[in-house]
Structure 1
Amino acid sequence: MGVVVFRFGQYALDADRRRLSRDGQDVDVEPRALELLCHLLEHRDRVVPEDELRDRMGRGDTVSEAVLAAWLRTARLAVGDSETRQEFIRTVHSDGYRFVAHATVASTASPTPPTNPAVAAAAEADREVIRFCRSADGTRIAYALTGEGPPLVKTANWLTHLDLDRTTPMWAHWFDGLTRGRQLIRYDERGCGLSEWTMNSFTLDDLIHDLDAVADAAGLDRFPLLGVSQGGAVAVAYAASRPERVSRLILTAAYARGQLIRAGNDTERDAAEVDLNIARAGWRSHDSSFLRYFASQFLADATPAEWDAFAAYQRQTTSPANGLRFIEEFTRIDVSGIAHRVTCPTLIVHSRDDARVPVAQALELATLIPDSRLILLESRNHLFTASDPAWPTFLSHLENFLAE
């Protein structure tokens, strides 16, 4: 099957990937509004009745006039139209709506599928689409679909950038491993990567709503959930509050309580404050030695050059103000009081000598979550590197757990 691209004015709409661009630059559009625009383009030879649009957009559910009007308004804004300026989408009163601008259709043949199974698997894992949705408070969230097969959703964690991650040594091997025979759904945290950097609010409830928005936009009802590092606390909170949506939970390098919350004595509180102050200094200055210290906690076995690359990558993922806010908020996060409400089977994997999050945090999670199992791997890295012997072991445990 070919890929259909509609071209009209300065715009191009890739109907297969559901991607709109203007003069070659992607236009951020809410998925349902983009679907509405695509349907009007596909049926531009006629007036599309409002009832037809509501049936199409509802997918079996009732869509109110107000909701349809909101999607229509969003679609119009995306192409520069409005209620009064209707160069592309025209309201035909009492009848419906019609796409009225001149549009051309380009169809390109899909590439011939590779015959070598290994090449075919690599091509399948390489297939990625980046899309956007809106959280409950209107914040734009970027999410990506990679590979094909049963879904695996990864909660957002700081230090991601959907457009850069697959070529970043810190993350590249994760995509190769997590997309084997499945589709990986991941997203950038609010304030980070391709998601909106302006954050009016950054609460645990906001992060839960962000994940809701991504799951809804991806059309997922129930799915396994992976939480890495501080994304683990969000995954625990989500599984506890949305038990009907999470089928299995995988946590790695995770914790229930942030560093300041779990500090049990003056020595630990002092250490937490020192760690926080070093991170603050790193983000406020251009001295990479502070961020290199931070990197050494994530990648204990990496080289100084790799730490510097990690520090440079940090600055690409978000602004200094947001970087500080992430650090400060996550040192105070606490999901220990709700972890017992997680009802799905849970796999907890942790490095024995994790330099960033002590193994005691994994033990605490395993104690708090009723149907959980704990696996400790011989490693010093907070995030498993491609060369870490623990990495293939982690993948093996994950695959076996998901296959049960």
Structure 2
Amino acid sequence: MKKITYLLLLISIILSCKKEDKKELEEIKVIEKPKPPVLLYGYNLDYYNVVNDTIRNGESFGVILDRYHVMYPRINEIVTTIKDTFDVRKVRTGKPYTILISKDSLQKAQVFIYKHNKINATVIDFQDSIVSAFKFRKKVKTIEKEIAGEINSNLSVTMDSLGLQPALTNTVADIYAWTLDFYRLQKGDKFKLIYEEKYINDTTFVGYGEIKAAVFNHKGEDLYAYKFVADSVKNIAEYYDEKGNMLRSTFLKSPIKFQYRISSRYNLRRRIQLYGNRVRAHKGTDFAAPYGTPIMTTASGTVVESARRGGNGNYVKVKHNSTYSTQYLHMKRRNVHVGDYVRQGDIIGWVGMTGNTSGPHVCYRFWKNGSQVDPFREKLPSAKPLEDSIKPRYFKFIEPFKKQLDSIYFLKKTDSILFKEEILATN
């Protein structure tokens, strides 16, 4: 009898435990958190079908919406309502877009998202009777990086070997355009940069920020560059060296950014094969570059000639002031007209072979007081250095950057790379 009692008690305990276990499982199920909704540009994608596409040649805003069952009277209403925020005529072939479509049987477009770039978009919402349009900017994280590189052939090849894109190479070239002749870089020249990269979602690279500081070691000399705002009212940043001298000067070293070679220099006794090897003065400097390479004006000024004439071919002449003028010959095509005001670095044409020339190049001629001279032998005016009253603030500002640059070291192999990252800001 006792055995039966114990057995019944044991069964009762087991059943009780099972009930408790079941209750526990039910409680666990109850407290399970639902998955968070997937949001895109602020919209919950659970409520829409999503179409990602690219604007094709000949497509318009209206054509796209019509494809997704939005009638033209409604399209006209949308276009009129949002015209102050977004001009639908400016949609461009090749630009990506996203359409959010209703999940019902109509499968009708509700929201159109035009992506200007990886960061910025315009969102047009017409799912209700009220049409709205707004700008959307993804959060961008800015990361500071350091890099050290050694020239093995030229700047472009070296930067490319470091995994850096041409945009950063061009910025470096712009910073040193007044102080470095990139054609004369030597194997073994070195550089260090403190610069910024921008990311969305921590992984998608969306471009470079500013170069905060740099140093280029050329022929054993360190050429420092620090970005600094001297006038807080104008808020214009310039690059200065370690002594407070502005790197920017009145004239650029070359009308070609850096992909060039000097094929012929200013030479009053040059013999020209094209003219029977006779002595014929060459009063310019020839910069050989690939056909179609942009040509920049080396200083700001007014275009006084833009024409095609004789051996000059397509050419442009710019008057900078009462003392200096420059001329650019043999262009493929001109980009300016007489009377235009051009700023230093503006594209005034492209390298060609018009006129008397045996290969693609730009002949760069330089006038001083009405006479053609060799700009490489002239002591040209430079921009004003920092005022003495500002220099103490500047020296204090660049001190940590100088230490940071000096602490970046080179790995032993050629074109080595070293990165150090620090999250600076989230815009």
TM-score range, shorter chain: under 0.3
TM-score for the superposition, normalised by structure 2: 0.24
In terms of fraction of residues, the more helix-rich structure is 1
Higher Rg: 2
